[in-house]
Structure 1
Amino acid sequence: MRAVCAEDRLAVLHGLDVLDTAADPDFDRLSDLAAAVMRAPIALVTLVDAGRQWFKSSVGLDETDTVIDISFCAHAIAAGDEPMVVTDAMADARFKANPLVTGKHHIRFYAGAPVVVAGARIGTLCVLDRRPHPFPSRAKLDQLKALAGLVGSLFTLKDATRSGAIAEAALAREEKRRAIALDAASLASWAWDTRTDIIQCDTRLSELFNLSRSNRLRARDILTAIDPRDVYQTETRFREALTGSDDYFGEFRVKGFHPPRWVATRGRVIERDGDGKPMLIFGVSYDMTERKLGDERQRLLLRELNHRVKNTLATVQALATQTVRHARQPSEFLRAFGARLQALGIAHNLLSDREWRGISIRELVQIEVKPFDTADQPRMTISGDDLLLSPDQTVGLALILHELASNALQYGSMSVASGKVDLGWRTQGRKGDRRLVLTWRESGGPEVAPPERHGFGSILIRRSLAKVISSEVTHDFRREGVFAEISMPLEYQSK
């Protein structure tokens, strides 16, 4: 046998992962046979490590290991593949001073055959006696060598069994991990045998296609479950993919759902016949309805956004034109135009955050008007149940509230310490024809006189809701303070 270096020998030994394991009756039976064959009271299955020898089986000896320096077996595996025999250790220069010989065990006779695994001598099957023996016959040594061969085979068999169990456990873990991953991703895996038209699959696949719960489906049942609008395209793309390459990907609707259920399928040809026709196809299918609905919402949002951007640009252009027309100085234009743009921007930020859906009137009021009040001595009272405004109502009301608050701070009740503003809203009318009525009432400020001419702020207050059908705005300069009332139809339900 080819010599194996010490490093490789130890690698084979440690690869068995058997050192310091529990006693094993299979090895003990082989030790008993060796002891009987050699007529010796002690028999061991030893494994020779780097610094010690350990006994996998020990018959007639209490110890489980010894240091390598006093090991007979280390000499045996170094000597070659044939058994090593010491008929009288006291007469052998190598062992006569060995503690196993001079100590309590009084070992005199030793015969050991190497145990070979994967071409490496990892230990021995040996017998020992406390009295000298004559040199054993060739037949007995052959029997000892054969038993040592059985020990090596037993180590190999048990290692293969252990490795198989590890592989099986790893496979079970991998299968469980795969199942968890598929479940977490809502994937249904399947294998389609085109010769029998049978699909072996997870039960999730039958649920995806609204079929009776099963692990076996017919391909024609899957095709029947597809929405008629998508059948032709699905069949065509599937044939093209499988004749042109090994991979397929398709998306289609399933019958019987409203809104429609969308399913995506990925497949790959695993086997083809001699003519190149697919025989076995593996794949996964999954519900992609949410993604489709999300895409549709995104498209609607983009269309809405494009519409709103056009309206906003028109509004900004009108604000700029009218502000310039009514401003006396460039600085006055910049201040007024900048403030109105900011009010418009606040409304747009809210709408963008809510994806251009209903906006809370209370949130809009808090953002647009509250900055004009003082936190330490608030002079503005806000009341009313929370309601939802449409995008057009949000933009229009934002501009009105900004103008009312800005004018109150410059000229009206908020310009003096004693002034107050009551801002409230209510609903009127019956379900299906309800209206929002918002009132702005100033008091405690300077005496108000109607202006000789209406500035752009007043015009903006009266016309900001022009796009909201049936909206009405009243803006009065009463002596005790400015009064405004805004009435508009409620398009959304209450929060």
Structure 2
Amino acid sequence: MVKPASGPSLDQERLELALQSARLGDYEWDMVRDVVVISARMSEISGLPAGEWPAQKGDFLYRGVHPDDREKTRRFMETSMRAEGRFEVEYRRIREDDGRTVWMRTSGLLVTDDQGRAIRTVGVVQDVGDRRAEEDRRRALMAELDHRVKNVLAAVQALAMQTAKRTTSLDSFLSTFFGRLKAMASANELLTAARWRGAAIAHLAAAELGGIAPGQARWEGPELFLTPRAANALSLALHELATNAVKYGALSVESGRVDVRWTRIADGGFELFWSETGGPPVAVPTHRGFGSTLLSQVTARELNGEVDAEFRRAGVNVRLRASAAAVVSRPETVPEAPTPRKIEVAPAVQGPADLAGKRVLIVEDAVLLALELETGLSEAGAVVVGPAYELEEAMNLLGGQIDAAVLDANLNGLSVTPVAEALAVRGVPFVFATGYGDSGAPMGFDAPIIRKPYDVTQVAAAVAALLA
């Protein structure tokens, strides 16, 4: 007769394999003998010594639990065992071998005899430190996002109030405010690409001057990266200077030139020089607008420096000095230098856009933006189709007559590409109105891209240009 081989049974082997695969440690508390058996895997996870030990009525299992969690964990486990015969709880444990604090999850089952008396508890433990750390990181990121969004909203509100106080008409307010808002958006796009670690001065200059003054503006200097606050401040400053140059200064005539240079200074900060030449004769301003206030106070304070402006007859000269606090080291991720954007307002359309009788589809998942687009396009004479807020809704509207479309790039997490493809097949022109940078917009389409935030008249003008 052949005797069976000694060792663990097949069921035990399967259990061992399952525990190992799940990265669980196991233990057993014999309540009759009052001893606890700690497996080798539980010892690795918890830091408790492996083997059989006096249970001390359960105190052995609780002795490494963090003092702030010990009594709460004990009460929960004992209450759950009395009520349900099982428990599951997460707590911190201070390892006895190396003193590290680890997060653990323990699940257990109470075993009773025929008379209902508790005879033992079996349980498993798992190290959940990585998951808890990820949850902590996610909460920190959400808190940081909430903080930044509120700061941005507060800044936009202040920008709107200050702009409104110094403009005399709605058209003037909208033009000035949207320009400043776009300057903030450009800086934000660069910072986002660098994971909010900093933005290069050269990129900020390219974003502000590359589109409005091709061939008339030049910028150069050493590679320097600014903090998010400093980047936003410099972006607004460059926008104000460029806007004034387009309206009254060197960029108002073809012969004018703008030269922007920056250098490092001894204290670790930098100096930036804005110089205009070849423009009409400059007169000293007779009143101080918000642009001047923004330059002299807001920009100087955010850069922890100073701004000096000279209104020479030959051209405006500005010296901006920033301290080392405005400069950061080179981020790990650095975006490519911005390229001149696609035309966002079609130059072929003179005056208000005329879309009389044209059926224009709006695909936009933000209700307020969709309503604003609907109002603006309707005022231009268009018959609005939609708006469609979801991808499926947009696809269902494609069966009717459509002369043109305005498409957001992303609809509640879904790409608008299927709609764009269907329109392209039918030969229907469309415009992308999106908050994404170049990498986020659907690729492979010969369509204008208008960046959020935008003035709705830009969208109407672009649609009219496509239909002209």
Residue 440 of structure 1 aligns with an amino acid whose one-letter code is: F
Partner of 2:155: 315
Equivalent residues, number: 313
The answer as to whether partners of 1:269 and 1:278 remain within 8 angstroms in 2 is no
In the alignment, is residue 486 of structure 1 matched against residue 324 of structure 2? Answer: no
**Gap change, CA 1:171 and 1:238, over 3 Å in 2:** closer
The answer as to whether partners of 1:413 and 1:445 remain within 8 angstroms in 2 is yes
Give 1:237-276 correspondences, 5 Å limit. 237-255=76-94, 261-269=101-109, 271-273=111-113, 274-276=115-117
- Equivalent-residue separation in structure 1 for 2:140 and 2:71 (angstroms): 28
**Gap change, CA 1:471 and 1:345, over 3 Å in 2:** same
In the alignment, is residue 224 of structure 1 matched against residue 72 of structure 2? Answer: no
1:411 to 244, 248, 252: 248
Which of these two proteins has the greater Rg computed from alpha carbons? 1
- Equivalent-residue separation in structure 2 for 1:383 and 1:408 (angstroms): 21
**Gap change, CA 1:259 and 1:295, over 3 Å in 2:** farther
- Equivalent-residue separation in structure 2 for 1:490 and 1:418 (angstroms): 34
- Equivalent-residue separation in structure 2 for 1:198 and 1:472 (angstroms): 71
Q: With CA pairs under 8 Å and 6+ residues apart, which has the higher RCO, 1 or 2? A: 2
Residue 43 of structure 2 aligns with an amino acid whose one-letter code is: S
Kindly provide the CA deviation profile for residues 99-133 of structure 1, in whole angstroms up to 9, marking residues without a partner as x: xxxxxxxxxxxxxxxxxxxxxxxxxxxxxxxxxxx
In the alignment, is residue 208 of structure 1 matched against residue 45 of structure 2? Answer: yes
Give 1:71-470 correspondences, 5 Å limit. 176=17, 179=20, 181-182=21-22, 187-195=23-31, 196-203=34-41, 205-211=42-48, 214=50, 220=59, 222-255=61-94, 261-269=101-109, 271-273=111-113, 274-277=115-118, 279-288=120-129, 290-348=130-188, 357-362=196-201, 365=204, 368-372=207-211, 377=215, 379-389=217-227, 391-415=228-252, 416-417=254-255, 419-429=257-267, 434=268, 436-446=269-279, 447-465=281-299, 468=302, 470=304
Name the TM-score, length of structure 1 as normaliser: 0.53
Residue 248 of structure 1 aligns with an amino acid whose one-letter code is: F
In the alignment, is residue 475 of structure 1 matched against residue 294 of structure 2? Answer: no
- Equivalent-residue separation in structure 1 for 2:82 and 2:208 (angstroms): 67
- Equivalent-residue separation in structure 1 for 2:117 and 2:301 (angstroms): 66
**Gap change, CA 1:469 and 1:368, over 3 Å in 2:** closer
Partner of 1:58: none
- Equivalent-residue separation in structure 2 for 1:325 and 1:368 (angstroms): 27
**Gap change, CA 1:193 and 1:492, over 3 Å in 2:** farther
Residue 269 of structure 1 aligns with an amino acid whose one-letter code is: L
Kindly provide the CA deviation profile for residues 150-199 of structure 1, in whole angstroms up to 9, marking residues without a partner as x: xxxxxxxxxxx9xxxxx96x9978965763x42xxxx3321322434323
User: What is the DSSP-based 3-state SS (H/G/I as helix, E as strand, rest coil) of the residue aligned with 2:223?
Assistant: coil
Q: CA deviation at 1:494?
A: 1.6
- Equivalent-residue separation in structure 2 for 1:259 and 1:384 (angstroms): 49
Q: CA deviation at 1:220?
A: 4.6
The answer as to whether partners of 1:372 and 1:406 remain within 8 angstroms in 2 is no
The answer as to whether partners of 2:92 and 2:101 remain within 8 angstroms in 1 is yes
- Equivalent-residue separation in structure 2 for 1:215 and 1:351 (angstroms): 55
User: What is the DSSP-based 3-state SS (H/G/I as helix, E as strand, rest coil) of the residue aligned with 1:225?
Assistant: coil
- Equivalent-residue separation in structure 1 for 2:160 and 2:87 (angstroms): 56
Q: CA deviation at 1:280?
A: 2.8
List gaps (5 residues or longer) in structure 1: 1-160, 162-166
CA RMSD of aligned residues (A): 3.9
Residue 239 of structure 2 aligns with an amino acid whose one-letter code is: H
Name the TM-score, length of structure 2 as normaliser: 0.56
**Gap change, CA 1:209 and 1:378, over 3 Å in 2:** farther
**Gap change, CA 1:419 and 1:367, over 3 Å in 2:** closer
- Equivalent-residue separation in structure 2 for 1:378 and 1:194 (angstroms): 86
**Gap change, CA 1:384 and 1:294, over 3 Å in 2:** farther
User: What is the DSSP-based 3-state SS (H/G/I as helix, E as strand, rest coil) of the residue aligned with 1:464?
Assistant: helix
- Equivalent-residue separation in structure 2 for 1:361 and 1:354 (angstroms): 10
